């Protein structure tokens, strides 16, 4: 009689087991090589161009900081650091680009108050504000001013501005509600009503105010030249301190209104950065923040130096967050879910 063939199930199972054991063995042998390649990539970082992403357009204070820091990091790290301006969606397109990038240390950038605290209150986001990033440092803080232009030729002081706002509804602009916290607070504290206009670019907002199309806006460094040239007049500092360029212009707090807009420049990469790379990025950012050339460039734009590591930076954000949320809620800027 012919010999019986072995049962197919048993033969197939045995062959499958041998194949699986072979694959597991190959994986076990390759794991050290994979880990070694990963470690080598970390050790070699940076070996190519870095992408520095900012969520705002060219010309404003944020862009100035990004380019000053990029120039210093290029010299310190020995590779190109390319600034990628990604304006739009209230300053959230840049952070979204960072969050969605590969966590290898080659993409990082600015993730500020607007992206972390304001945007979650006002829109749907393609990232999770506190989980999608590995925070790196704070380098500086933008000062905010309250200027007026040709639409208000008779307004010379904050008191004049408030009186005019009681006669008619004024307009004010910013790139995102977070930079306008003091404007929202001023409405409540002074008992006035104003119409908020969100504009993609701070330089466009400045042009609109200088041209008389909008009454005021959240002025940053671009306002200095306009004010010195007579196109706008600064009525108050909306920050915690006076602007060095306008020492005679008091803060809103000094004028009796307990409010100040905080605009710290926070840096982050995508969540999952290797710790050695995260530490090196933090060190490079803090070194740039304290470099004399960077400090001079910031000073010319009235940007306050605020160098602090990632732990201190996050503690500051936790302190600032409740006041921002309360101001926007009181102004009706928080969307209903």
304-309 and 133-141 beta bridge pairing: antiparallel
Contact 103, 271 (CB under 8 A): yes
Backbone angles phi, psi at 109, to 5 degrees: 170, -160
Are 50-142+263-330 and 145-237 in the same CATH fold?
yes
Bridge-based pairing of strands 133-141 and 145-148 is unpaired
| Residue 1 vs residues 4, 6, 34, 326: alpha-carbon distances, Å | 9, 15, 55, 91
Contact 72, 103 (CB under 8 A): no
Q: How far is CA 104 from the centre of its chain?
A: 20
Rounded CA-CA distance 325/337 in Å is 15
pLDDT of residue 24: 59
CATH architecture type of domain 145-237: 3-Layer(aba) Sandwich (3.40)
Q: How far is C-alpha 312 from the geometric centre of its chain's CA atoms?
A: 16
Contact in structure between 71 and 298 (CB atoms under 8 Å): no
Q: What's the topology of domain 50-142+263-330?
A: D-Maltodextrin-Binding Protein; domain 2 (3.40.190)
Give 165's Cβ-side CA count (13 Å radius): 23
Helices (H), 266-309: 275-289, 292-300
Per-residue pLDDT at 43: 85
pTM of this prediction? 0.78
* Segments making up each domain of the chain, as ranges: 50-142+263-330, 145-237
Q: List the Cα angle 101/102/104 in 5-degree steps.
A: 130
Contact by Cβ (8 Å): 55, 115: yes
Residue 238: Cβ-neighbour burial (10 angstroms; 0-12, 13-18, 19+) = buried
Those residues with Cβ within 8 angstroms of residue 155's Cβ, 6 or more apart along the chain or in another chain: 148, 161, 164, 233, 235
Instruction: Report the distance separating Cα 283 and Cα 21, nearest Å.
Output: 46
Distance CA 307, CA 332 (A): 33
Instruction: Look up residue 304 and give its two tokens.
Output: 């306050």
Reading the chain (337 residues) residue by residue, the pLDDT tens digits are: 454 544 544 445 555 566 666 655 655 555 555 555 567 678 899 999 999 999 988 877 888 899 999 999 999 999 999 999 998 887 899 999 999 999 999 999 999 888 999 889 988 999 999 999 999 999 999 999 999 999 999 999 999 999 999 999 999 999 888 899 999 999 999 999 999 999 988 899 999 999 999 999 999 988 999 999 999 999 999 999 999 999 999 999 999 999 999 999 999 999 999 999 999 999 999 999 999 999 999 988 889 999 999 999 999 999 999 989 999 898 888 876 6
């Amino acid at each position: 009689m012919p010999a019986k063939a072995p049962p197919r199930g048993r033969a197939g199972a045995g062959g499958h087991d041998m194949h699986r054991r072979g694959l597991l063995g190959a994986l076990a042998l390759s794991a050290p090589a994979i880990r070694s390649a990963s470690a080598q990539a970390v050790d070699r970082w940076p070996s190519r161009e870095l992408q520095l992403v900012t969520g705002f357009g060219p010309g404003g204070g944020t862009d100035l900081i990004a380019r000053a820091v990029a120039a210093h990091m290029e010299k310190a790290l020995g590779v190109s650091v390319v600034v990628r301006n990604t304006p739009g969606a209230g300053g959230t397109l840049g952070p979204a680009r960072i969050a969605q990038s590969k966590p290898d240390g080659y993409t990082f950038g600015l993730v500020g108050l607007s992206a972390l605290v304001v945007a979650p209150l006002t829109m749907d986001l393609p990232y999770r504000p506190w989980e999608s990033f590995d925070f790196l440092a704070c380098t500086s803080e933008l000062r905010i001013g309250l200027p007026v232009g040709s639409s208000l030729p008779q307004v010379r002081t904050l008191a004049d501005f408030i009186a005019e706002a009681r006669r008619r509804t004024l307009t004010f602009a910013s790139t995102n509600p977070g930079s306008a916290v003091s404007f929202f607070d001023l409405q409540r504290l002074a008992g006035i009503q104003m119409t908020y206009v969100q504009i993609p670019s701070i330089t466009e907002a400045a042009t609109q105010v200088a041209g008389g199309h909008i009454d005021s806006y959240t002025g940053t460094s671009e306002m200095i030249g306009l004010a010195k040239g007579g196109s706008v007049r600064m009525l108050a500092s909306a920050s915690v301190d006076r602007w060095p360029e306008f020492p005679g212009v008091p803060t809103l707090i000094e004028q009796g209104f307990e409010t100040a807009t905080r605009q710290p420049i926070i840096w982050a990469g995508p969540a999952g950065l290797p710790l050695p790379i995260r530490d090196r990025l933090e060190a490079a950012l803090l070194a740039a923040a304290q470099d004399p050339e960077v400090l001079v460039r910031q000073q010319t734009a009235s940007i306050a130096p605020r160098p602090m590591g990632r732990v201190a930076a996050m503690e500051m954000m936790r302190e600032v967050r409740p006041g921002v949320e309360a101001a926007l809620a009181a102004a009706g800027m928080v969307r209903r879910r």
